[in-house]
Amino acid sequence: MANRRNNRLSGEMKRVISEVIRNEVKDPRLSELLSVTDVDVMEDLKYAKVYISVYGDIEPTLEALRSAKGFIRREVGKRIKMRLTPELLFEKDDSIEKGIYMSSLINKVIEDEESRKPKDESEDE
């Protein structure tokens, strides 16, 4: 039961945080190509890890978000009626980069396998 509640809360927080960052946080360090990929709310509701993905250098964007986290937290508390609003911890989400890297490794293995095939086999197919 609590797990389902955390999942629903995480999804709602992701939506609200994305909206607040996009529409209300005015910081020139924020990247235009910023995406909130996931929000992980801890069981005790004291902390929420907010995973951010950015095209390009992420450090200035993380600094901007960390400096605006009090404002973002207050807005989340206003929009989602909660007794306790979790403290926001912004972290880099590198899952997209890892996926691209894994895809390139798979493509390399496929190319290596095709180059090892005898020419007779490749002509038959």
Q: What is the CA radius of gyration of the chain?
A: 21
* Amino acid 91: pLDDT: 92
Residue for token pair 């090892």? 116
Quick one: 38 and 84 in the same domain?
yes
State how far the Cα of 16 lies from the Cα of 79, in Å rounded to an integer. Answer: 7
Look up the domain containing 75 and give its range.
Answer: 2-93
Quick one: 51 and 109 in the same domain?
no
Indicate if the pLDDT at residue 6 is higher than 80.
yes
CA angle 94, 96, 99 (to 5 degrees): 110
Quick one: 76 and 21 in the same domain?
yes
* Amino acid 79: pLDDT: 92
Question: Looking at residues 84-88, what average pLDDT do you find?
Answer: 91
Quick one: 55 and 100 in the same domain?
no
Quick one: 69 and 98 in the same domain?
no
Quick one: 20 and 58 in the same domain?
yes
* Amino acid 113: pLDDT: 86
State how far the Cα of 115 lies from the Cα of 119, in Å rounded to an integer. Answer: 9
The structural domain count of the chain equals 2
Quick one: 27 and 53 in the same domain?
yes
How many C-beta neighbours within 10 Å does residue 80 have? Answer: 13
